Structure 1
């Protein structure tokens, strides 16, 4: 078993014991720098990162492979990439950039394995008469149609 496969097995073994956490990404550089990015249904604590780091590091032999390991949580500025990440952010405002360069901002209302639904709220000119009217519209978007999706952070 190669180094990459062994790291993947250790990460998957840890996540099998912690069903509230899920993997976003594992990167291994040519110089054996391992980066594991986790997310969780209820967030990721420092202790979660320590536990994952120990589960990986203590089962790799530094005599066989020289490596560095970094385990971290997906930050607020990181894009949403999995349906599970979208699901945990239901009722939050997200900003989505589509493949056709359209930019949409709305409240995440529903999530499935293939797409998600945003509630868009905006004002537009009235169809009849003068002035503007408030519009609430639902828009279903396929994961295949997006370049990037980010949670909108409000202070």
Structure 2
């Protein structure tokens, strides 16, 4: 299946070029009856259902035309959603100003507003309880990317 995955990745890279659509993740999983192909794509503004459907149709047509897969398959093209961690620089840029949760490799978790992103770190504005009181202080923390296990956007109802 890695050959199929490589062909799909190569086609997607050529199809989307330098944007506006970005490939976030690609998974090809063989099943008992059908191969499952899951492609996660996004744009800086957020990808629409119509854009996902068009990409799915074009890829399915190309795969069948090129006879990349002989067996039955399921092809799912969608956006990553909030449960998928941020992994690429443009995703961090897109979510500046939003609330995120950061899982550290060694030091637990941190929640706060994503203030900035560079190629090697992020900056988070989080709330800190001062001396076990009700007082809360805002604190800016720069975190090297190498110290982060994963980071996800959090839903805010405010």
Q: What interval of TM-score do these two structures reach, taking the shorter chain for normalisation?
A: 0.7 to 0.9
Q: Does residue 68 in structure 1 map to residue 74 in structure 2?
A: yes
SS at 1:104 equivalent? strand
Alignment of 1:35-46 (within 5 A): 35-46=38-49
TM-score, structure 2 as length reference: 0.83
User: TM-score of the superposition, structure 1-length normalised?
Assistant: 0.84
Structure 2: which 5+ runs fail to align?
none
The residue matched to 1:27 in structure 2 has which SS? strand
Shift of residue 132, structure 1, vs aligned partner: 6.3
What is the match of residue 137 of structure 2? 135
* Residue in structure 1 matched with residue 155 of structure 2 by the alignment: 153
Match of 1:11 in 2: 12
Cα-to-partner distance string for 1:16-36 (whole Å, 9 max, x where unaligned):
17x122111101113432110
Distance (Å, rounded) in 1 between the aligned partners of 2:68 and 2:128: 59
Equivalents in 2 of 1:90, 1:13: separation in Å? 28
Partner secondary structure for residue 27 of structure 2: strand
- 1:55-94 pair list within 5 angstroms: 55-61=58-64, 65=69, 66=71, 67-94=73-100
The match for 2:27 is 27
Paired residues, number: 149
